[in-house]
A = this chain, B = another copy of it.
Amino acid sequence: MPATGNRAVRAAMLIIGNEILSGRTRDANLTHFAERLSSRGIELCEVRIVQDTEPAIVYALNALRASHDLVFTTGGIGPTHDDITADSVAKAFGVAIGENAEAIALLEAHYQVPGDFTAARRRMARIPAGASLIENTVSAAPGFRIDNVYVMAGIPRIAAAMLEVVLETLPQGIIRGVVTIKARVAEGRIADGLRAIQSRFPEVEIGSYPSYAAGDFHTALVLKSPDAARLTAGKAEILALLAREGAIAEEI
């Protein structure tokens, strides 16, 4: 396991965009952010997906930033009329917003063909007062950080690049070991045994995730713990339970 921090770091994501809520676009950022944050021991504890309206963004952001150590927003920082994240973040924090000189310089350097630096693109330099920029290594228009809130693009490739820029600067949380066991068994057959094991292993989080494919029920068991010895002991008990039930099982 990599070096671990000694306190829990709890994060939330705020995904902004009607296209996700309409089902037209499937969000691709949640999975990636969860995995990358987890590599620093940061736990993604809540996600909210809201429409492109100022009241929705302000309300959700203020709730999440008060209840989590870190908040990551994606979406709504482009040049079009429905990109209202930066203004909404300023409103949530009660600060002014205006053109940021550093952001203007980045955009001017990127859009050098005459006519390319449109008025609409200039709006991407609007940054709340007191925020610091997050570099966009793909397409110049920056994200920004204000207090514990990191405001990023919605396009997955750009969002991922921005996350890499800030990842090393985030507080280090507690790294937990993870064991995943897949078994061809309906979880109802092992649920009583699992409950007994969970009660003997309170320091191991045991998740049971059923799925259904080709007429069979399958169960994925995911064990997480900062205590490697207890994790191994818990895994052994679960494998024994599965063997008693005659379930085909493998650690993946």
**Copies of this chain in its oligomeric complex:** 2
Shortest A80–chain B CB gap in Å is 4
12 extra interface residue pairs, beta carbon distance < 8 Å, beyond A21-B45, A24-B180, A81-B208: A18-B207, A19-B207, A21-B44, A24-B220, A24-B222, A48-B48, A49-B49, A80-B187, A81-B198, A83-B208, A120-B188, A123-B191
Instruction: Fill in one digit per residue for A59-86: 1 if any B CB lies within 8 Å of its CB, else 0.
Output: 0100000000000000000111111000
Q: Which of A30-38, A95-103, A127-135, A167-175 contacts the other chain?
A: A30-38
- Given the contacts A82-B208, A155-B210, A121 and B191 also touching, CB distance less than 8 Å: yes
The answer to whether A7 has its CB under 8 Å from any CB of chain B is: no
- Which of B34, B79, B191 lies in contact with A118, CB distance below 8 A? B191
Shortest A39–chain B CB gap in Å is 11
Shortest A26–chain B CB gap in Å is 6
A25 to B209, CA, bound (A): 9
Q: Which 7 A-B pairs rank lowest in CB-CB distance, beginning with the nearest?
A: A23-B34, A120-B191, A80-B208, A47-B49, A79-B191, A81-B195, A23-B31
